[in-house]
A = this chain, B = another copy of it.
């Protein structure tokens, strides 16, 4: 039966088209017709494969999430040491094809709708849980549990922050700088965790 084949292909095309439209138009300007046009199809076909607009964009987010997940997984497979696992997560989140202003725009738009869409919220939760878990797989061996979790939290927030920055200002942060800053924070916190506390420096 080719049925499953064609429908799977078409659905994927439409998910990607939806994400592409999100990149250029944002959530407010993303219409079914634009998605159809982006996919080279008619509006009818979009609603043939997806119950409604909401479902379409939920799948668009799933698709984007899958890309991000696979990118990081690929790097994790190469990693041998705990530190390399951490670097894999960081580097993966800033891969050139992901860390693009337009991609950040799309994510921003999706995130902005999270509070009003249970499905989107779920996906977002998964993303953060996975990122934390991936980081912990390396951090566990480099710091006590409590510290490791703290570092994981900070790193995820930092990554989100840099993504937001790139979305808000295309030239505000470079991929290389973002990576180096995140890694520097990891290093600094690991060092701080390693040595005895001396109180805060400065006057």
Chain A residues with CB under 8 Å of chain B are: 25-29, 81-83, 101, 105, 108-109, 111-116, 121, 124-125, 128, 141-142, 150, 153-154, 156-162, 164-165, 167-169, 172-173, 181, 184-185, 187-192, 194, 198, 200-203
Which of B27, B161, B191 sits near A156, CB closer than 8 Å?
B161
Taking the closest CB of chain B, its distance from the CB of A57, in whole angstroms, is 10
Which residues of B are found within 8 Å of A159, using beta-carbon distances?
161
Q: A188-B188, A190-B200, A192-B192 are in contact. List 11 more A-B contacts (CB 8 A).
A: A26-B115, A28-B113, A114-B168, A128-B168, A128-B169, A150-B181, A158-B158, A161-B161, A164-B164, A185-B185, A191-B191
Copies of this chain, how many? Answer: 2
Taking the closest CB of chain B, its distance from the CB of A88, in whole angstroms, is 14
B167-A190 in contact (CB<8A):
no
Which residues of B are found within 8 Å of A194, using beta-carbon distances?
201
Given contacts A108-B112, A113-B26, A191-B192, contact A82 B202 (CB under 8 A): yes
